[in-house]
Amino acid sequence: MSAVDPVAIFRVEAGELLDQVEQDLLDLGHRLTDAALVDAVFRSLHTLKGSGAMFGFDALAAFTHHCETAFDRVRKGLAPATAELVAVILSAQDHMRALVDGDAPRADGDAILARLEAAIADGADLPVGAPVVAGGGGWRLSFALPVDAMANGTNPLMLLDELRELGPCTIVARTDTIPPLDDLTPTDCHIGWDVTFAGAVTREAIEDVFIFVMDDMEMTLAPLDAAADEVTPDVDLPPVTDVARADPVSVAAKAGESVRVPAERLDTLMDRVGELVIAQSRLSQLAGQDGGLALRSVSEEIERLAGELRDTMMVLRMVPVATLFGRFRRLVHDLARDTGKAIELVTEGETTEVDKTVVERLFDPLVHLIRNSCDHGLETADQRLAAGKPEAGMVRLSAHQAGGEVVITIRDDGRGIDRTRVRAKAEANGLIEPGAVLGDQELLQLIFAPGFSTAAQVTNLSGRGVGMDVVKRTIESLRGTIDVASIDGEGSTITLRIPLTLAIIEGLLVRVGEGRYVVPLASVEECLELSLEEDLRSRARSLITLRDQLVPFLRLRDLFATGTRPDPWQKIVVVSTGAERVGLVVDQIIGNHQTVIKAMSPLHRDVASFSGATIMGDGGVALILDIAQLVATGQSRDQSREERLRAAG
Amino acid sequence: MTHPSSPSSIAWNADGELQALTFVMGTETFAIEAEFVHEILDLLPTTVVPGADPLVGHLINFRGRVIPLADLKPAFAMEAATDTSPSRIIVVELSIGDGNHYVGLRADAVDEVATIHVDTVEPPPQIGMRWPRDHVRGLVRRGDGIVVIPDIAILFERLATRAGRSVH
């Protein structure tokens, strides 16, 4: 195994912490009084500060410290959580990401800190804001380090030197707690210090000196001009709080919950498990032929273990779309701010699992689609109220699995797509002939045509250079489709259907001739027997009557040219894609099969009947039927047959 | 008659040599660059892909990957192998389309890894060959026979292009 760069790990973890902070902040924006959220943000910032310092991200630690302090005050009820504070910390959170990546201009940080101070000061009714910004009159600081501070690597002399560098000050040691010489362990630290700053020093500067030891030390800091006996609790930096103490534990618990592994290692592991399963099936064959009882029982044990291992393996690469959807909350928050519209994002079906690579590649297209909905779809508050709609626009993002596909819809309740304008624009751009006759779907699909969106608005959100044609291309490269629906005045819906490549689907394993095929179970409606007489009767027309409805069917034996004799009792598997149905005639229905989809080779891209292949328990390969394709084939055959019949009649 | 120049698509080393795996299909001996060869397997159970090009009409499970099994015999005017023919599978890694892919090549027998010298290679003759000329990069005279250096990269690249085109 290669050595792992701890700094790289820190970056990843910091990214996750910041994601968490962002989510919590966005929640907090809606529920300003939720103490649990304030605590959560505080803890995350605290952890980030600590581990940042540990890995040498001093600028990050120092910057985060100020945000943490602000939240600490909120936590203690000294300052209220305000929308402004949340907004400032959100931008601070972005700055922290930049600091983690190491490319943050210092000026940005200073500007954010200034806003932070203002936010905290504004929010505070108590005079607690004053000491934070003041300090021109000097400070009285007294602090004592924990007894084991020197054993932990803290050098008090260096702290004192740093304090001296801040400005003129007098330092007096407190020696009253030093034990008698006999009891004194020389490595223990029993001295406390009183420091008086005369000049203009900020509170932050002083606190920064203690940034790495602050959690364990006792410290009071009071402005010199305030009466010394009026040390308000808010200027106290208390010793360790329960929350802070609990922190390492919660971090440890988190580490136990997930391990990060590069995706290619999972692929390798998956291949190995595949090999193991094949080797195991050979073993059980041998054991079954001429093995003794002992060999057979070992073989069965291994069969069970290998099966379980495979099942466990299959789900490892799948991640819930929640990881994707979560990232859009911030997007919508920012869009609402930038456009001045009230926008509510509703997400559904976050637990739907999709292969990790698919999730990653869906991000950019979804950003663009959501942005489009918010920007162009939703009206302004005034327009909405005038149209009798609720003031806040709604963008609904949902996901569910249907057959071998994940269906993601982006729906808004805005003004809908203006078909007249789409047509006019397409004609102006030469995409269609003036006055061309187009179906509704054809017309709507024009928004995905290259060169359609001429008004390339480059804002900080759309600066990625992704146009709607790129959205379409990305979805198609995932072998997916885009549908658009729109009702004037009521909103539009964009539906993405993406095959779950590498995902696991429940399949129905069937046999046609000598080949085995997998039908995605979710598209199976029912299975029936094709009786001999029905079979003969249906020779002339490939239609069966199913509960008073004519359903076309395909004889897969003919379609696949197996060249084998049909089994005497054939079965029909009725499959559907939405409204369209088609029956597939197979020789045998073998049973359910957990199917890991493997992509077809580029050499087989022209074989339209199959969406992929899978490896079965005995090591053999079965092809996965592409139901949408087969239904289309069945329907079109049916039509051409009817046309022939009509022509003949 | 022009002097035969060495085919450019063969990667000769500095000494003008090529390590190649030789194998038998039908009555002919073929040679492919040993560096493409990933593994040699006994024949595995195969799965027919209905509707696929006969050159790549099957799939096999190669260590948990599903890879196409190619039978190059039709490209060299030979009868396609039957399921019962004794065979070995040469797994090669080729750059096809957007990336590297494994493909199994069906061979009647695998011979040896031999060193071919640039001087022994002749370009395919203009006439007198039973096969499409561009399926062959060169012919090597060896002992009493001839070894064919097929252009499998071109063969598969074309198959992939054809497959890709008929979709769109």
Range with the largest mean pLDDT of A185-199, A607-621, B39-53: B39-53
Query: Is the Cβ pair B67, A272 closer than 8 Å?
Result: no
- The structure tokens listed for A525 are 């409606």
Query: Is the Cβ pair A270, B163 closer than 8 Å?
Result: no
Distance linking the first and last C-alpha atoms of chain A: 74
Which residue in A516, A561, A603 is closest to B160 by CB distance? Answer: A603
CB A395 within 8 A of CB A378: yes
Rounded-to-integer distance, Cα A103 and Cα A410, Å: 35
Query: CB-hemisphere CA count at 13 Å for B124?
Result: 17
User: Residue A553: is its pLDDT beyond 50?
Assistant: yes
Calculate how close chain A gets to B117, using CA atoms only, in Å. Answer: 32
Which residue in A602, A608, A614 is closest to B96 by CB distance? Answer: A602
Calculate how close chain B gets to A607, using CA atoms only, in Å. Answer: 6
pLDDT digits (tens, 9 = 90+) for B14-59: 888 889 999 998 888 999 999 899 999 988 888 999 988 888 989 9
CB A538 within 8 A of CB B29: no
pTM of the model: 0.52
Q: Count CB atoms within 10 A of the CB of residue A501.
A: 18
- Give the model's pLDDT for residue B26: 86
pLDDT band at A252 (very low <50, low <70, confident <90, very high): very low
CB A627 within 8 A of CB A403: yes
Angle at B92 between CA B91 and CA B95, to 5 degrees: 145
- The structure tokens listed for A124 are 């505070």
Share of chain A above pLDDT 90, in %: 7
Strand arrangement of the beta sheet that strand A343-348 belongs to: A343-348, A393-402, A405-412, A491-499, A481-487
CB A275 within 8 A of CB B64: yes
Rounded-to-integer distance, Cα B111 and Cα A330, Å: 63
Q: In one letter, which amino acid is B118? A: V
User: Residue B94: is its pLDDT beyond 80?
Assistant: yes
Torsion angle of C-alpha atoms A49, A53, A55, A57, degrees rounded to 10: 80
Which residue in B45, B156, B164 is closest to A620 by CB distance? Answer: B45
Angle at A263 between CA A262 and CA A264, to 5 degrees: 95
Q: In one letter, which amino acid is A300? A: E
The better pLDDT of the pair A639, A108 is held by A108
- The structure tokens listed for B121 are 């290679």
Q: Which residues of A touch B103 (CB under 8 A)?
A: 601, 603
pLDDT digits (tens, 9 = 90+) for B124-133: 877 777 777 7
Q: Which residues of A touch B167 (CB under 8 A)?
A: 605-606, 608
Q: Which residues of A touch B44 (CB under 8 A)?
A: 619
Q: What is the H or E stretch that residue A555 is in?
A: strand A549-555
Query: CB-hemisphere CA count at 13 Å for A370?
Result: 30
Q: Beta strand A621-625 with A610-615: parallel, antiparallel or unpaired?
A: antiparallel
- Give the model's pLDDT for residue A512: 92
Calculate how close chain B gets to A266, using CA atoms only, in Å. Answer: 13
pLDDT digits (tens, 9 = 90+) for A136-189: 567 888 888 888 878 777 788 888 888 888 877 888 888 888 888 888 888 888
pLDDT band at B152 (very low <50, low <70, confident <90, very high): confident
Q: Count CB atoms within 10 A of the CB of residue A584.
A: 25
Rounded-to-integer distance, Cα A521 and Cα A501, Å: 16
Rounded-to-integer distance, Cα A573 and Cα A633, Å: 15
Residues in chain B: 168
pLDDT band at A641 (very low <50, low <70, confident <90, very high): low
Query: Is the Cβ pair A559, B167 closer than 8 Å?
Result: no
CB A190 within 8 A of CB A147: yes
Strand arrangement of the beta sheet that strand A192-197 belongs to: A169-174, A192-197, A139-144, A218-223, A236-237
Rounded-to-integer distance, Cα A314 and Cα A107, Å: 48
Which residue in A562, A606, A621 is closest to B66 by CB distance? Answer: A621
For chain A, how are helix, strand and coil distributed in percent, rounded to 5?
50, 20, 30
Alpha helices in A167-225 (DSSP H): 203-209
Q: Which residues pair with A345 in a beta bridge?
A: A395
